[in-house]
Chains A and B, each alone.
Chain A
């Protein structure tokens, strides 16, 4: 497949707010089930081990007209819960047999209760993750939570999930993370060859495709991209931070590149890169998932940082390892986690002289001119500064 063919496929999946890919997957074999999840992190390995399709729900984007969703929310709140409700109420999520609401903020937490009330026939679970990190305390708690999810999903599919099922699924997701890491590395090395708008679409495809197919698609893309020489621009290199939940419109991502910024690292769709190392496949699978979460997972504002000295370290490391020259903080309006974290991260960047700029967006932000200008000015200043 050519780059264009792969990107077109991903674009079609991205545009399809009716989740036909999920319907098709289910229709291919009787009895198949799919489970949706919201940002940031759920252990998809357990869903996969149950033979189900994990489906990432990332709001309605800028194409969905929100009609019902507005009636469920007050004025001052981010947009993703409205559009998620809209997706649900308009039947677009009917192919999902359940929904997981990860512990990321109070909006999504409360949305789990709304889902319980609005979709009574569906499996709904708030998935709590620990904010402390000792194996003997947080680990014990978390393994229980994992076990209880495993029991629930086992019940839903009518067979228990065995340790071997889990081990096999862990291996499949390890492989997916490897393929994603390779894509990220390729982009960091040759960002003109793998534009972020394409990388983003590839990640989004992973929210609806079976993981094995997605891993292959990622590899096909990198191979195809390497075949084509694309024009290289004199862009600066930036890390984008704050985009872990409500998504910026695709046009915004494109705008950054047009404005002169190559994105070389980011926190898009963190679930795909949440666990930083391979999860061991030998031994107790839940314990392995727990240890990976507690000790080898990405830092985001949805996670407590126990050591003040480490605040911002992860971001600085992203900048350094990707060879970025600056950071663009992009956060959804009214997003307490991202917006409250931002000044601390900025302070950390100040201390090591990494320049940054910041703006807010909504998933349906239509006017991109101001953002494009801001990113352009930032790119220019970086070039001047480094000249």
Chain B
């Protein structure tokens, strides 16, 4: 087992920058209550970061706290705490990790205290559980809750009725409530400015993700991708810091590409690229590095993933649009990955398989998340049928260590890689 990174791995400037950004946000969250700064808690999919910044709100993302706690191996005990407190063992562990953290004094992943929120912005995009999550959190606080209901793209398209509904909620409910809570008047030009920044970062992010079309791929678009999406999916989209982060990251990847290098792993450079994979589903965070190692040890690189689209699907053209700010916020919310229909998700994955010249598909089905997982086995069959490429199915969880069985996952992956190799050898012969 090697889930500790060797000490001598050189961190690239983008990594250091991201760490600094995240630390700064946790610090500003920890002092927000004392400094009288207002805090908004909200979810990653369909988050309105640009809008929230217009009201000088500090942004807290409970999902990010849960995953960061998972990476730091703290979630096992937080989940148990929530279960001792009446939560069922059956339900989403992100929720329980968050509730457990609150019960234990709300100390965040970095050890800094997290603030009491002044407003809960329930961006109800792509996940039913969000609704229950914030109803549960609301029990602990005396603060406003805004429900932003984002209809589901069941037929694979955004209708005008859906867009109008979201736009109206934004204009007539979300914005007035945020004005009232924050005491700051809404300024459309300020929103436009943030959105201009978002679009720049989004351009670079797409370039970065699509760099994986190269052979060898200079990035890992799932395990590495989790880091790449960090700033843009959370408190930084729309900031100059995010624009700069993505510019720096792009520069580094351009360099790797020029050198013909593969991705950076926790143990240094990736060896020879043997298999190119597409991954559907979320990562496991409690054993993140161990899980990743099972891939890079075998020369398997992930060239495209859907998880890196949960906080926004940008690679098919969508950008935050400063000329139509509110409408584009609506389209952003409506377009997040888990808000797409199953047939649309299948089409997207088939596209990835082809465009990124993948050898196969791995689905990580997590116990927590029906939004992702319900229906994945049918997706797997369909994609195998349409692409002729083999797929593997593994079951873990996001942040509950009880549901990560390293031996099982490894076995499953090893036999899958063997099969890919045989298939490759036959094709080459």
Contacts and interface: CB of A to CB of B under 8 A. Distances in A.
Contacts of A138: 149, 165
Contacts of B371: 106, 109-110
A77 B370 contact: yes
Contacts of A154: none
A75 B395 CA distance: 8
A304 interface: yes
A130 interface: yes
Interface string A119-150: 00000011010111010111011001100100
Given A77-B370, A113-B341, A126 B147 contact: no
A15 B139 CA distance: 43
Nearest to A133: B147
B161 interface: yes
A196 to B, nearest CB: 25
Contact of B90 (A111, A134, A344, A360): A360
Interface in A235-293: none
Interface stretch (A59-67, A221-229, A328-336): A328-336
B28 to A, nearest CB: 27
Nearest to A118: B378
Interface of B: 85-88, 90-92, 95, 122, 124, 127-129, 131-133, 135-136, 138-139, 145, 147, 149, 151-152, 154-155, 161-162, 164-165, 168-169, 172-173, 341-343, 345-346, 365, 367, 370-371, 373-378, 382, 395
Given A105-B128, A336-B91, A126 B152 contact: yes
Contacts of B155: 126
A344 B135 CA distance: 8
A210 interface: no
B378 A106 contact: no
Given A112-B342, A137-B173, 19 more contacts: A72-B375, A74-B373, A76-B367, A76-B395, A106-B371, A109-B154, A116-B341, A126-B155, A126-B341, A132-B169, A134-B173, A306-B145, A311-B135, A336-B132, A337-B132, A343-B87, A343-B136, A344-B135, A360-B88
B342 A110 contact: yes
Contacts of B139: 308, 311, 344, 347
Contacts of A125: 154
B12 to A, nearest CB: 37
Interface of A: 71-77, 81, 103-107, 109-114, 116-118, 125-126, 128, 130-132, 134, 136-138, 140-141, 144-145, 148, 301-302, 304-306, 308, 311, 331, 333-337, 339-344, 346-347, 360
A336 B365 CA distance: 17
10 contacts: A74-B374, A81-B374, A106-B370, A106-B374, A110-B371, A111-B374, A305-B135, A339-B91, A342-B88, A344-B135
A71 B377 contact: yes
B286 to A, nearest CB: 16
B343 A117 contact: yes
Contact of A107 (B136, B147, B162, B374): B374
A49 to B, nearest CB: 21
Contacts of B343: 113, 116-117
Nearest to A127: B154
B161 A145 contact: yes
B152 A74 contact: no
Contacts of B122: 304
B132 A301 contact: yes
A77 B154 contact: no
A104 B378 CA distance: 21
Given A109-B152, A336-B132, A336-B370, A308 B145 contact: yes
Contacts of A134: 172-173
Contacts of A71: 377
Contacts of B377: 71-74
A340 B378 contact: no
Contact of A131 (B86, B129, B149): B149
A111 B132 contact: no
Contact of B173 (A114, A117, A132): A132
Contacts of B367: 74-76
Contacts of A104: 128
Contact of A306 (B88, B147, B346): B147
Contacts of A130: 149, 165
CB-based closest 8 A-B pairs: A113-B342, A126-B154, A340-B132, A141-B165, A339-B88, A110-B375, A144-B161, A106-B370
A305 B135 CA distance: 8
A107 B378 CA distance: 13
Nearest to A343: B86
A233 B352 CA distance: 65
A83 B2 CA distance: 42
A128 B377 CA distance: 24
Contacts of A144: 161
Contacts of B133: 340
Contacts of B152: 103, 109, 126, 128
B154 A112 contact: yes
A29 to B, nearest CB: 31
A311 B152 CA distance: 25
B136 A137 contact: no
A113 B372 CA distance: 12
Given A130-B149, A306-B147, A77 B164 contact: no
A132 B147 contact: yes
Question: Which of A76, A305, A311 has the most C-beta atoms of chain B within 10 angstroms of its own C-beta?
Answer: A76
